[in-house]
Structure 1
């Protein structure tokens, strides 16, 4: 037996509301929602209807992280500006407490790390460690540049030539082919850049002295070898570049050197060193020849000839007083005799009454310089035996020609 549905219009069921009772039951089917009050009837008089809420509670959003705390932690980890990191950590804790934000752990960590960093900085300043660090940093920054070259280094210039601006070098073994060999360095002082001209002048003067100290056997410096200077520029000066580098290189930019040109106390025997020291002193006196010819200034030339006579006598005595190994004693003794003859001619030139007489003794004296006796003595000592090719207007420079200045 079926029970007919209640009379009255049917209401559609709300899909988002609570389920409506279906079929027969003790309660008449009513639409969901508050209804007009009705008088209670039957056994359920006085019992209210349950009302289902249609709203929802919003999801709880987390409190934002304090940005100052993040900055404090970053500065603390990097140990950069530790005092600032410490202050930011304290400020962050105050803001977090007032605003209810997150990040107190980061603020505390940044403050602690910054405190340690600040303590280390104070200790470094007190002990001079900061200065040592900065100097080390500057040295490291220029470790691959020409500024890192030292006396005795041989190098190549990647992609360039020694005849132009040099920005970088590669050190190589001097026994093989190389573009340049360092024979000395000259430190520069001063707070401001002294200027290109002054740096070039100092490089030329200082490198000339260092040249003979490094390559005492000047006969080994052929006309194909020239002297160059690696000098600071105004820009590199700002980075701490304070050094002139004196370099031997080939006069032809497309050619290289092979083997080291070094001949000093580190590479020479005792006999070779004694011989070259004596002969180089005499060469220095010869290089001081006046620029004006005797026709223009006879007095200056006569005075110079007297100085050469004194140097010749002194160095002949040095060679004669040295004990030479067997095989070199007789050639050196023959050279000493020739030096005595040359000394007499220089003395006669220094007292010449006129220009013609001066040049007569001058030419005779010069015939003994780098003559046959010198070649024989050098051969006995194992030194280079090919005399250098002197320039007609030489003033004691390199046999290769004018010095070259290079920027780094």
Structure 2
């Protein structure tokens, strides 16, 4: 199998790897807590609070705890001077969201849950932490949107195509079968 990568605009440079081995300590310290938030957000119950209040309260409680832990981890890290202000801004957003999710977690009825649901989600913007990601040299836009460079310089518009090639197994004697 041979893979080829092409860019819709510009030239691709850098590694295609996008894992912890290509990240510095600050990038990892940022991504680990932020990724846990996105994981919990994706676990939102299928039924809304009008249909299953208890499941939604439990999810809101998990999200509140996750936000608290993320804030603690982000505050505990020693950020480079150029990044600190943008991380502080993100921490403020996360704290505002956490307050709403904590209240949604103890809501007595669906109306009280919804009262905190919208402001809780509004505080977790689609570009959550974009300024900090950019300051850390990470992609500052979600995949599929135009933005700054991703890790390694590959752009989110890069596409891969694969073609098959014949592979001749070795017989172990140094000659092809």
- How does the TM-score come out when normalised to structure 2? 0.70
Greater Rg over alpha carbons, structure: 1
Distance 1:177 1:372 in 2: 26
- Residue 177 to residue 371, structure 1, CA distance change in 2 (3 Å): closer
Larger helix proportion of the pair = 2
Aligned to 1:331: 86
Count residues in correspondence.
139
- Residue 277 to residue 287, structure 1, CA distance change in 2 (3 Å): same
Distance 1:372 1:170 in 2: 35
Is structure 2 residue 111 aligned with structure 1 residue 376?
no
Is structure 2 residue 142 aligned with structure 1 residue 310?
no
Distance 1:269 1:354 in 2: 45
Distance 2:127 2:3 in 1: 40
Is structure 2 residue 38 aligned with structure 1 residue 283?
yes
Shift of 1:304: 0.5
Q: CA RMSD in A?
A: 2.2
Mapping of residues 218-367 of structure 1, within 5 Å: 261-367=16-122
Distance 1:360 1:280 in 2: 26
Distance 1:261 1:365 in 2: 35
Shift of 1:370: 3.4
Distance 1:292 1:388 in 2: 28
Distance 1:371 1:292 in 2: 22
Distance 2:138 2:75 in 1: 19
Which portions of structure 1, spanning 4 or more consecutive aligned residues, are displaced by more than 4 angstroms? 258-261
Which has the higher relative contact order, 1 or 2, with Cα contacts under 8 A spaced 6 or more apart? 2
Aligned to 2:6: 177
Shift of 1:275: 0.5
Shift of 1:310: 0.3
CA deviation string 1:65-119 (max 9, x = no partner): xxxxxxxxxxxxxxxxxxxxxxxxxxxxxxxxxxxxxxxxxxxxxxxxxxxxxxx
Verify the 8 A CA contact 1:334 1:373 in the aligned structure 2.
Answer: no
Q: Which runs of 5+ in 2 are unaligned?
A: 145-177
Q: Which runs of 5+ in 1 are unaligned?
A: 1-168, 179-257, 390-408
- How does the TM-score come out when normalised to structure 1? 0.32
Shift of 1:346: 0.3
- Residue 287 to residue 371, structure 1, CA distance change in 2 (3 Å): closer
Distance 1:357 1:286 in 2: 20
CA deviation string 1:180-233 (max 9, x = no partner): xxxxxxxxxxxxxxxxxxxxxxxxxxxxxxxxxxxxxxxxxxxxxxxxxxxxxx
